[in-house]
Amino acid sequence: MAIRRSLIAGNWKMFGTRAEAEHLLSALKTRIGRPTDREVIIAPPFTLLETASRLLAGTSICLAAQNLHWEPQGAFTGEISGPMLKDVGCSHVILGHSERRQYCGETDEQVAQKVGAARRDGLIPIICVGETLAQREGGETTALISRQVRTALRQVQTNFSSLIIAYEPVWAIGTGKTATPAQAQEVHAAIRATLAELSDRATAEMVRILYGGSVKPDNVDGLMAEADIDGALVGGASLQAEAFARIIQFR
């Protein structure tokens, strides 16, 4: 079995001014130092990417964007391309987040285009998949998420191991509800099985699969103890230096 380096990513969503970003990142750097056994990623809104890039210079913390457009340039008012993100210092990009799917109408096919663009432009995609409460209660979880993964990777032919998948049950995002470690592990294992079918088991064992959905200091340890949970995509708690540092320092 491959040894996967744990990864904790903080998605700031639509929060933060430059002053707030400076305060938060300064406090976070003081609390976590330079962890060597786990990776940390920060995903601020577009307006804070340059500020965050400057503040993270010389640290081991990576920078991610929250979205991108699949074209490298063009007449797409309000959009941001992969080359632009690379230019400002991003190494990763979150794609297909449930809020993008829900509020912006993103489809599985559009997510696939964006995954292809991220790979083309040298960015590591963090591909989000997840089900609603109605879909879970209807017994659709495994089939739905397998379909989301398969579609998202349609344009990816090789080197699956550099991809990151984030399972985020829609019913647990920002609601205070969290999938139990056992529930999350079941879905993570199903995702890894899908990846094995798309490539091979050895490659699937190298892919990191994150859990996202109201991750907090008081539940991260239990989640991270599961075999197929390799990290967390953290929302609200990543905006609090003390809470996010504790999540990063899970035991």
Given the residues 99, 131, 168, 226, select the one marked as catalytic. Answer: 168
Count of Cβ atoms closer than 10 Å to residue 133 Cβ: 13
User: How far apart, in whole angstroms, are the C-alpha atoms of residue 109 and residue 87?
Assistant: 26
Q: Single out the residue of 79, 77, 63, 160 nearest to residue 114, CA to CA.
A: 79
Residues in the chain: 251
Q: Single out the residue of 181, 165, 174, 92 nearest to residue 130, CA to CA.
A: 165
- 97 labelled catalytic: yes
**Environment class of 142 (CB within 10 Å of its CB; exposed 0-12, middle 13-18, buried 19+):** middle
Given the residues 69, 97, 188, 226, select the one marked as catalytic. Answer: 97
Report whether 169 contacts 136 (CB < 8 A). yes
- 188 labelled catalytic: no
Report whether 15 contacts 52 (CB < 8 A). no
CA 70, 197, 3, 159 dihedral sign is: negative
Report whether 188 contacts 231 (CB < 8 A). no
Report whether 67 contacts 100 (CB < 8 A). yes
Q: Is 89 left (phi over 0), alpha (psi -120 to 50) or beta?
A: left
User: How far apart, in whole angstroms, are the C-alpha atoms of residue 77 and residue 115?
Assistant: 20
- At how many degrees (to 10) do helices 141-152 and 181-198 cross? 40
**Residue numbers annotated as active site:** 97, 168
